[in-house]
Structure 1
Amino acid sequence: MTIEEKMEHFKNVSLDNASAKSNDILTAYKQSLDEQFEKHKETALLESKSVESAKLNAVRLEVKRELSKVQAEVRRTVTLHQNKLKSQIFSAVVEKLNAYKKTEEYKKELISQINKISSDFNDTTVEFYIDSSDESLLSDLQSHTGADIKISTVPFIGGCKAIISDKNMLVDNSFKTKLAEEQEKFTISI
């Protein structure tokens, strides 16, 4: 082989070798880029799912907040209506009590209450009080019971109160107290 042939052969071998190495480097580089691309796709997909999940959670939270607001408003409205209805009911009860106070049964009830308290505490001094609106019944009540009955300066709708000083006791059969007790217990169910 001549030098020129050798040079040509060396050139061809060198070019083939360089071309093979270049192809290997390009293949490795392409494979590396493909791997990076796949990792980037996975990361982007995970981030996308994470962002989607965060947005979904934010929407759920907002829906819950709005629902809570609506529920609170409904509860407030229901409570307002219940209180209004309760007030109307007890206003009607007071009207009925005022009508009852004009009957003979009311006077009999007062006499019965005073006699019962007098018999329960017959060994002590008992001061009885009736409401100022019942002043017209005072003489009848005193004559039927023989008790010391006074007109209260504090209005209590009707009924009677008794103070037993020796025992430091108050017997409260007033309509105002009974009405307050019933209002406390009264509930409206839906």
Structure 2
Amino acid sequence: MTLEEKLQHFQEFTMQDAREKSNQMLDDYHASMDKIFEEHKEKKLRQAQLEINTETERLKQERNKEVSKQHLHIKRKITRKQEELKEKLFVEVKDLLCKFMESAEYNQLLISQINAAKKFAKDQEIIIYIDPADSSKKTSLEVATNSSLTISEYSFIGGTRATIPARNILIDNSFETKLAEAKANFIFNGGISND
């Protein structure tokens, strides 16, 4: 082998070795870059998922807050409407009571209230009041119940009131009180059901 051939062979061998080392270094570099890229990609995906979760939670809270706000607004509207309807209803009930006070059944009711108050008082002194609107019925009621009745100084819409001074008791069967109790205890139950 000549010197030139030896040099040629050495050059080819060196070049081959340099290429292999260069290729190995490039492969190592690519593998390293791929690993760094995958780690970076995973880190960014975790951050993105965390941001999505955080934003989703914030939006849920915002939605819940808005739903609560709307629910409260609707509830207030319903309450106002119920109060309005309740007022109308009790105006109608009061009108019906006024019509009832003109009937024979009303006289029977007064007689039964007076007799019940007398029975409750037993032998103790009792003062029985009737509404000023019923003053024309005083005599007939006194005869029917064998009682002395007093016309009240103020109207209580109808019915009777009685006091037993010895026991400090008020028997209140006035329409005004019954109407106020009914109004205070009145509840809307949701409307007609199809049972």
SS for the counterpart of 2:134 is: helix
**Corresponding residue for residue 5 of structure 1:** none
Cα deviation code 1:34-64 (max 9, x no counterpart): 2111100001111112212222222222222
**Corresponding residue for residue 152 of structure 1:** 152
- What is the aligned-residue RMSD (CA, Å)? 3.0
Counterpart Cα distance in 2 of 1:140 and 1:184: 34
**Corresponding residue for residue 39 of structure 2:** 39
**Corresponding residue for residue 92 of structure 2:** 92
How far residue 83 of structure 1 moved from its aligned partner, in angstroms, is: 1.8
How far residue 151 of structure 1 moved from its aligned partner, in angstroms, is: 2.4
What runs of 5+ residues in structure 2 fail to find an aligned partner?
Answer: 1-7, 191-195
**Corresponding residue for residue 61 of structure 1:** 61
Which of 173-182 and 49-58 deviates more?
Answer: 49-58
Counterpart Cα distance in 2 of 1:96 and 1:174: 15
**Corresponding residue for residue 165 of structure 1:** 165
- TM normalised by structure 2 equals 0.78
SS for the counterpart of 1:129 is: strand
Counterpart Cα distance in 2 of 1:184 and 1:125: 32
Counterpart Cα distance in 2 of 1:106 and 1:12: 130
**Corresponding residue for residue 102 of structure 1:** 102
Cα deviation code 1:119-147 (max 9, x no counterpart): 33231000111222222222332333332
Which of 109-118 and 155-164 deviates more?
Answer: 109-118
Q: Percent identity?
A: 35
| Counterpart check, 1:174 vs 2:181 | no
The one-letter code of the counterpart of 2:51 is V
The one-letter code of the counterpart of 1:73 is H
How far residue 91 of structure 1 moved from its aligned partner, in angstroms, is: 0.9
Which of 152-161 and 94-103 deviates more?
Answer: 152-161
The one-letter code of the counterpart of 2:171 is V
SS for the counterpart of 1:125 is: coil
Counterpart Cα distance in 1 of 2:13 and 2:121: 133
**Corresponding residue for residue 187 of structure 2:** 187
How far residue 21 of structure 1 moved from its aligned partner, in angstroms, is: 6.0
Cα deviation code 1:136-180 (max 9, x no counterpart): 222332333332322223432110011112222111111112112
